[in-house]
């Protein structure tokens, strides 16, 4: 079947979905908007005068029908651990390129393992097209280019923003799982916030940061081949204490009734950044690689606010997949578009630093 619809955005009425739709329209695209709620999907489609399609991801037949004529799906409905499987199957069946905005390690690992199937169908799987992991993935690839025999990668970030409902839901979903790092090529579970450090992000203050299970623990391995990876996030001390306490109660946090309760709380508390923060907020990233001889390289990246950046990078990635290309299979952002991909976005600055020798 000829693919007559270039782009379909699923989860279009979510917080981040709406930002992505606005960015796609700003760029002159006419995406088809989709979601599971008939009212909410119709409302956003009407706002922009766009076509819309309503279907549940549980309905495999409807999902396939909706994707039959679509070249690229930009999937914004998460937690992605609950949505990735049906969407992937429909993409394989209909030969539709798959792009999402996940940051979930399990989802990256799952899709990486499906690379062969995607190659056989001639489609690209490109998860992590948002703040997690585009800037950190490009930073990791840049550092690897500076020290090709690096065997250890440490990444850290600080976001000046406010969490959205969906990000909070995804965190609740993963609360019982603790932390994760990559050691000797394998992803290893560690206690939540098991290491802390003090970090200079170049924003004029020294920040406390804790080890977190960020997407790069999965993706940076595919991008760089570096076998030891850890990611830190700047967090206030009381939050780090809470994460550690929660880990002790992780068996409880895995119960669906507790998850439901926490999601209800999150729904009230987390509304995402407002317009001003979206426009003025910034994110700071830092990375370091070390080789077995003790040599090191470090760099920083400054980017726009995380949710806003997500809208820019996700739409750009979808656009690039709509252009003629020879890619098929699983890709990380830097594998697909190079380490300097992130520098194409306004407000992004990369600074190489003179590092301390390896400790």
Ligand X SMILES: NC(=O)c1ccc[n+]([C@@H]2O[C@H](COP(=O)([O-])OP(=O)(O)OC[C@H]3O[C@@H](n4cnc5c(N)ncnc54)[C@H](OP(=O)(O)O)[C@@H]3O)[C@@H](O)[C@H]2O)c1
Binding footprint of ligand X on the chain (CB under 6 A): 11, 13-17, 35-37, 57, 76-80, 82-83, 101, 103, 130-132, 164-167, 170, 306-307, 310
Nearer to ligand X, 16 or 64 (CB): 16
Nearer to ligand X, 317 or 321 (CB): 317
3-state secondary structure of 61: helix
Shortest reach from residue 23's CB to ligand X, in Å = 13
Of all residues in this chain, which one has the CB nearest to ligand X in the complex? 166
Nearer to ligand X, 19 or 147 (CB): 19
Query: 97-119 burial string, b = 16+ CB within 10 Å, else e?
Result: bbbbbbbbbbbbbbbbebbebbe
Residue with tokens 């990246």: 301
The DSSP-derived string for 138-162 is: HHHHHHHHHSTT--EEEEEEEE-S-
β-partners of residue 283 are 159, 303
Shortest reach from residue 99's CB to ligand X, in Å = 11
Nearer to ligand X, 280 or 352 (CB): 280
Shortest reach from residue 76's CB to ligand X, in Å = 6
3-state secondary structure of 273: coil
Residue 320 CB burial class (10 angstroms; 0-12, 13-18, ≥19)? middle
Nearer to ligand X, 150 or 180 (CB): 180
Shortest reach from residue 169's CB to ligand X, in Å = 6
Nearer to ligand X, 230 or 310 (CB): 310
Distances, alpha carbon 344 to alpha carbons 53, 135, 212, 299, 319, in Å = 32, 11, 28, 17, 14
Report, in angstroms and rounded to the nearest whole number, the Rg of the chain calculated over CA atoms.
20
Shortest reach from residue 202's CB to ligand X, in Å = 21
Shortest reach from residue 290's CB to ligand X, in Å = 27
């Amino acid at each position: 079947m000829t693919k007559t619809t270039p782009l379909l955005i699923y989860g279009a009425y979510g917080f981040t979905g709406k930002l992505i739709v606005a960015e796609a329209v700003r760029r002159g695209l006419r995406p088809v908007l989709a979601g599971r709620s008939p009212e909410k999907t119709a409302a956003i489609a009407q706002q922009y005068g766009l076509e819309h399609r309503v279907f549940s991801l549980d309905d495999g037949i409807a999902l396939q029908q909706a994707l039959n004529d679509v070249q690229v799906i930009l999937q914004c409905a998460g937690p992605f651990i609950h949505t990735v499987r049906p969407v992937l199957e429909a993409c394989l069946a209909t030969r539709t390129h798959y792009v999402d905005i996940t940051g979930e390690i399990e989802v990256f690992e799952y899709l990486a393992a499906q690379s062969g199937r995607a190659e056989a169908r001639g489609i690209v799987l490109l998860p992590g097209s948002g703040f997690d992991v585009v800037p950190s993935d490009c930073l990791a690839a840049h550092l690897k280019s500076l020290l090709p025999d690096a065997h250890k990668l440490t990444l850290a970030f600080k976001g000046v923003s406010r969490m959205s409902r969906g990000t909070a839901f995804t965190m609740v979903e993963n609360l019982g799982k603790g932390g994760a790092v990559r050691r000797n090529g394998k992803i290893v579970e560690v206690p939540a916030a098991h290491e802390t450090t003090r970090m200079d992000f170049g924003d004029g203050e020294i920040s406390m940061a804790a080890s977190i299970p960020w997407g790069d623990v999965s993706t940076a391995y595919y991008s760089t081949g570096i076998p030891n990876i850890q990611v830190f996030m700047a967090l206030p001390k009381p939050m780090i204490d809470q994460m550690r306490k929660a880990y002790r109660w992780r068996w409880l946090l895995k119960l669906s009734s507790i998850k439901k309760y926490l999601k209800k709380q999150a729904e009230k508390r987390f509304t995402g950044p407002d317009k001003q923060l979206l426009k003025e907020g910034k994110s700071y990233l830092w990375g370091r690689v070390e080789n077995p001889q003790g040599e090191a390289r470090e760099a920083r990246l400054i980017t726009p606010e995380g949710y806003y950046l997500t809208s820019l990078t996700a739409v750009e990635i979808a656009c690039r997949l709509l252009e003629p290309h020879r890619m098929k299979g699983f890709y990380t952002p830097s594998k697909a578009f190079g380490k300097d991909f992130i520098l194409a976005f306004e407000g992004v600055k990369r600074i190489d630093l003179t590092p301390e020798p390896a400790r």
